Each structure stands twice: as structure tokens, then as C-alpha cells.
């Protein structure tokens, strides 16, 4: 479900609930006091990276779908929702297997919108600067760093490195300037492609590296390895993806 573009789709599907009053709230979440939501009006719906944000007058509900989270709009499914919001006209929002937290501070204090790869305010120069400040980091870790690329996930990582022809264990500090900038550019470009393809239900069809066995460029067998700080699965071509070390 959940890399940045999927959360954009979630927002588009729920933005009509902006202005609606929550008539009832229930669910199995223990991280927030659900009773506080009842009677509140949704004043906005926002996203930051993989965070889905339901803004109420005095606080915000943050929903993170993690790896397995899901949602249903105006219907349920055969599972206990972590959070269900009910509205007039029998309309409802259901969220399952997600992490829910409450944010009491102003969102502009909590979030740097210019780090969100799906936000038009994303600041390419800042991202480049942050990358430069971590020369010893592997590039595969940097792409997953939500402080630099909020919303980018493991699919982004594999696809972006393939597009830029960079080996995942390249050190940031060893990348030529043009290559480092290319990474930033490709993250944003892949975000747009991801959103477009996901909406058309053809995301997987367009994977060039993620889960793939052979390189579409040269036919070489992809390497699959669990790399970086978080040991996430990484697919890459030893032939065409250059190691900068």
C-alpha cells in the first residue's frame, strides 16, 4: 500500500470529507483517545510523505499505513478497524492495521513540507545539500531517509538507482555532483510515474528493477541482497549500475 504516491491517492479519495463533522468514532487504536474526535469537524486533509493527516480544529490525527495498512471508504471489510469515523448519510472512513497518533502542535512546526517528494514545495537544492552532508552514507540508505525524501520507500530506492545507473552501495560522497543531482531528480520523476501508474493499476508492470531477475538494459542477472542500515531488499545490476566508492 504505502509509499508517498499511494497516500496522495488516499487523500484524493477522502478530500470530500473536508468540512464534514465526525458523528461517531470507534476502533481498536490505543494510541489516541477516540472520544476526543466525536463532534469535531474535519477542517482539512493533508499528507506528508507516507503520513496521512486528518486536521481537526484543535489537533491532527496522523495515520501511517506502515507495511500492511489498508482503508475502506463508505464500506467496511472483514476486520476490526483501528479507526472508524462515521459521518451523516451513513458515510464512513475505515483504517486497518495502521499506526495512529495525535499531533497537538501546529503542522508547520512538525513537518518540513519541502522534504516531501510528492509535494510541489519539494526543494531539490535542500535535498542535495542534505545528501552532501552525509558523504559516508550509502546511497541506498539515503533514498529511504524520510528527512531527505519523505514518501520514498523501497520501490523508489530500487527503481531510482536503476534509472540513475548507480550501485546501491555507492557512497554519497563518492558520487560526482551530476550523479548526486540525478538521484534527486529521479526520485521526483519516479514519484510522478508511480502515481500515474498506480492510478492506472499498472505500477508493477512498469517495475524495471524491483523484484526483477534480469536487467532490462543488458540482460545480466540482477543481484538481490539485503543492504544498508535497514537490510531492505535491493535489486540491482552489477554490470550497468556503477559503484562509486
Partner DNA sequence: TGGAATGTTGGAAC
Partner DNA sequence: CGTTCCAACATTCC
Interface residue list for DNA (CB under 7 A): 1-3, 6, 49-50, 64, 66-68, 70, 77, 79-80, 96-97, 99, 144, 146, 153-155, 210-211, 229-230, 232-233
Which of residues 40 and 149 has its CB atom nearest to DNA in the complex? 149
Query: What are the φ and ψ backbone dihedral angles of 121, each rounded to 5 degrees?
Result: -85, 0
Nearest to 2 by CA among 198, 186, 210, 230: 198
Which of residues 40 and 203 has its CB atom nearest to DNA in the complex? 203
Q: How far is the CB of 231 from DNA (least distance, A)?
A: 7
Q: From CA 11, how far away is CA 21, in angstroms rounded? A: 17
Q: How far is the CB of 62 from DNA (least distance, A)?
A: 8
Q: How far is the CB of 4 from DNA (least distance, A)?
A: 9
Q: How far is the CB of 52 from DNA (least distance, A)?
A: 12
Dihedral angle at the C-alpha atoms of 181, 175, 215, 198, nearest 10 degrees?
-30
Q: DSSP letters along 178-197, please?
A: HHHHHHHHHHHHHHHHHHHH
Distance of CA 173 to the CA centre of its chain: 25
Which of residues 16 and 202 has its CB atom nearest to DNA in the complex? 202
Contact, 243 vs 169, CB < 8 A? yes
Which of residues 55 and 83 has its CB atom nearest to DNA in the complex? 83
Amino acid at each position: 500500500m504505502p509509499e508517498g504516491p499511494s497516500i496522495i491517492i488516499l487523500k484524493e479519495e477522502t478530500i470530500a470529507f473536508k468540512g464534514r463533522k465526525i458523528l461517531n468514532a470507534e476502533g481498536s487504536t490505543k494510541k489516541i483517545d477516540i472520544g476526543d474526535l466525536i463532534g469535531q469537524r474535519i477542517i482539512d486533509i493533508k499528507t506528508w510523505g507516507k503520513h496521512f493527516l486528518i486536521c481537526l480544529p484543535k489537533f491532527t490525527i496522523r495515520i501511517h499505513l506502515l507495511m500492511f495498512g489498508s482503508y475502506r471508504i463508505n464500506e467496511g471489510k472483514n476486520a476490526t478497524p483501528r479507526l472508524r469515523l462515521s459521518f451523516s448519510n451513513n458515510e464512513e472512513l475505515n483504517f486497518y492495521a495502521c499506526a495512529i497518533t495525535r499531533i497537538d502542535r501546529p503542522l508547520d512546526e512538525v513537518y518540513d513540507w519541502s522534504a516531501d517528494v510528492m509535494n510541489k514545495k519539494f526543494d531539490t537544492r535542500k535535498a542535495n545539500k542534505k545528501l552532501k552532508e552525509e558523504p559516508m552514507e550509502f546511497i541506498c540508505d539515503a533514498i529511504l531517509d524520510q528527512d531527505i525524501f519523505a514518501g520514498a520507500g523501497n520501490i523508489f530506492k530500487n527503481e531510482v538507482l536503476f534509472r540513475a545507473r548507480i550501485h546501491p552501495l555507492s557512497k554519497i560522497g563518492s558520487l560526482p555532483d551530476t550523479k548526486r543531482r540525478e538521484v534527486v531528480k529521479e526520485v521526483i520523476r519516479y514519484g510522478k510515474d508511480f502515481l500515474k501508474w498506480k492510478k492506472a493499476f499498472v505500477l508493477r508492470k512498469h517495475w524495471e528493477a524491483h523484484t526483477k531477475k534480469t536487467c532490462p538494459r543488458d540482460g545480466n542477472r540482477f543481484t538481490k541482497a539485503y543492504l544498508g542500515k535497514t537490510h531492505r531488499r535491493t535489486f540491482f545490476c552489477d554490470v550497468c549500475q556503477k559503484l562509486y566508492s
